A and B are shown apart, each in its own frame.
Chain A
Amino acid sequence: MTKVDLTVNIGKLKLRNPVMLASGTVGYGNEISEFADLNKLGAIVTKSLSLKPRKGNPPQRIVETPSGMLNAIGLANVGVEEFIKDKIPFLKQHDVPLICNIAASTVEEYVECTKILDSEETIKAFEINVSCPNVKDGGLQFGNDLKAVAKVTEAVRTVTNKTIIIKLSPNVSYISEFAQVVKDAGGDAVSAINTLVGTSFNIFTRRPKIHNVNGGLSGPAIKPVALAKVLEISRKVDIPIIGIGGIMNWKDVIEFMIVGASAIQIGTLNFIDPTSSVKIVNELEEYCEKNNYKNISDLTASYII
């Protein structure tokens, strides 16, 4: 049996396998590297970076929900400057493509962040977060507006030749319209999906369980929604899709690829089993061997409907 080719392409970016770690679930890589060999992964995506450091929301930031969790971290991050100074040196020691997730409140701020980070060789791509549901000034307000998504994509395109991925919100009527806009504006790929807006209340105090009232729902509870959104994009728009939403094992990865994903991101699972990503890579290889897929990329959009 010849070795399975696990490589996948996202725009200009070639990954050794389709398993990426999602933004906001691996910090800047150092803690999770104690559990997972980063060099075995397709890519890692940093916590959202903003131009200036952000303190994030007060507690409580997290609540568990049925087969899922709500989070309202509020984009807490060290800011681009400290990221370059303190975080990149650690990531440089690893042979794994680094994708920087960028969050901002204005088009200018997205551009400025990308410009500053573009000169760092370790950074192979940018994932532009236009869909964070947890901050008042930005994030989702872009993600809900076709023109704004087009504008951000176009503007970032002017300052980098690296792969641009736009992380899309599921909190819209037709996500494929947003993917089309990204493609038309020069974006290379889309990530789908970011978290779904949700809330949870204490029935005795009648108060919200998280300080921000609303949070972003993630985990296996959202997987069927994420699959439907990936499929919608896949059927309507010719653009690479990075599937995200409640992946718990290798079977979920295959399912995302069948409905249209070229690669996937593991998010909430990192909190529960930080060793899972590397295991999943090995299991994907076994699945391909057993089912005679020479290239895992053949699975992408292989659905029969």
Chain B
Amino acid sequence: MQIVKSPLIETTEVQENIFIQKVHSPEIAAEAKPGKFLNIRVSETIYPLLRRPFSICDVDDEYIFLMYNVTGEGTGLLAHKKPGSLIDILGPLGNGYNFEDDYDTAVIIAGGLGAAPFPFLTRKLADKKNIVSLIGGRNKKDVITYNLKNVLTASDDGSEGMKGNVVDLFKANMKELTKKKIKVFACGPTPMLRALKNVCIDNNIYCEVSTECAMACGFGICQGCPIESSHNQDTYLLVCKDGPVFNVKDVLL
């Protein structure tokens, strides 16, 4: 965990309103792990004031990659930065996915921009595990398959892949997938994770989810990002420090 100012190499719009930014940051690259995140200050002025959290999308040698869509002033400013601009990065933060344990197939399940952390995980798992990526979104524009392997898709309106949500897609492929020992790595909107949790618990499948919550600091001092623990109702866990990746059984979604 450190603060660095790293130069932007290039910005690519890989599909409509989905941007990938390549940043030369050996310091961050060295500490990065799939599922950890970065808190980025997009402006040196007082507006926007707070840093914005981003998944580490990928790491290649000394380069890190961010993935985001432009939703407001902060991401708009970031998308317009010119190559060579310094990106003010605090990170890597939080706990990432545990992907080196005992299973045969990694089932990646993502909804919308929840796909962001998975190019990095896919890279780390290459040649070590089978990977199946189940990717969903509201419509074709929202289904992000950038640098993923063995992709099956679903969309709410049926414009891309199976009509339905990504948890339906998982259920539809459950029988085939569970012929081998699987572990689920998921990221997406909370309602999706909640539905997925039920499916995983019912089928006794080990599942790690990356959660999100509005936060300020990203490392525990603001206490702004509580998430309810399954085991202790007297205190909250913090998404930034205790997560953002949790065993799905450990949190109430």
Contacts and interface: CB of A to CB of B under 8 A. Distances in A.
A and B from one assembly? yes
Interface of A: 24-27, 31-32, 34-35, 47, 53, 55-64, 66-69, 71, 73, 76, 219-220, 248, 268, 270-275
B74 to A, nearest CB: 9
B200 interface: no
Given A55-B236, A61-B224, A67 B3 contact: no
Interface in B30-52: 41, 46-51
Contact of A35 (B3, B49, B213, B216): B3
Nearest to B222: A271
Interface in B222-247: 222-228, 234-236, 241
Given A56-B236, A248-B46, A272-B51, A76 B226 contact: yes
Nearest to A25: B221
B162 to A, nearest CB: 29
B47, B225, B234 pick with most chain A CB within 10 angstroms: B47
Interface residues of B, number: 29
Given A73-B223, A274-B217, 4 more contacts: A27-B223, A53-B234, A61-B224, A69-B50
A61 B225 contact: yes
Q: Which of A55, A61, A63 has the most CB of B within 10 A?
A: A61
A220 B43 CA distance: 14
Contact of A31 (B51, B214, B220): B220
Given A53-B235, A219-B49, A273 B3 contact: yes
Contacts of B228: 58
Nearest to A61: B224
Query: Which 8 pairs of residues, A with B, have the shortest CB-CB distance?
Result: A62-B224, A271-B217, A271-B216, A67-B46, A31-B220, A220-B46, A27-B221, A61-B224
A71 B222 contact: yes
A63 B48 CA distance: 12
A152 to B, nearest CB: 24
Contacts of B220: 27, 31
Nearest to A68: B49
B223 to A, nearest CB: 5
B236 A270 contact: no
Given A34-B1, A64-B48, A272-B50, A71 B224 contact: yes
A64 B52 CA distance: 10
B226 A62 contact: no
A220 B49 contact: yes
A59 B226 contact: yes
Given A25-B222, A59-B226, A273-B3, A67 B49 contact: yes
A61 B46 contact: no
17 contacts: A26-B221, A31-B220, A31-B221, A34-B219, A35-B3, A56-B236, A59-B226, A62-B225, A67-B46, A69-B50, A76-B223, A76-B226, A271-B51, A272-B51, A273-B41, A274-B3, A274-B217
Q: Which of A31, A32, A71, A219 has the most CB of B within 10 A?
A: A31
Contacts of B222: 24-25, 62, 71, 73, 271
Nearest to A27: B221
A20 to B, nearest CB: 15
Contact of A47 (B215, B223, B236): B223
Contacts of B227: 59
B220 to A, nearest CB: 5
Given A25-B222, A32-B221, A59-B213, A64 B236 contact: no
Given A61-B226, A62-B224, A271-B50, A31 B219 contact: yes
Contact of A69 (B41, B49, B226, B235): B49
B49 A61 contact: no
A206 to B, nearest CB: 19
A270 B221 CA distance: 8
B221 A56 contact: no
Nearest to B224: A62
A66 to B, nearest CB: 6
A271 B221 contact: yes
B49 A62 contact: no
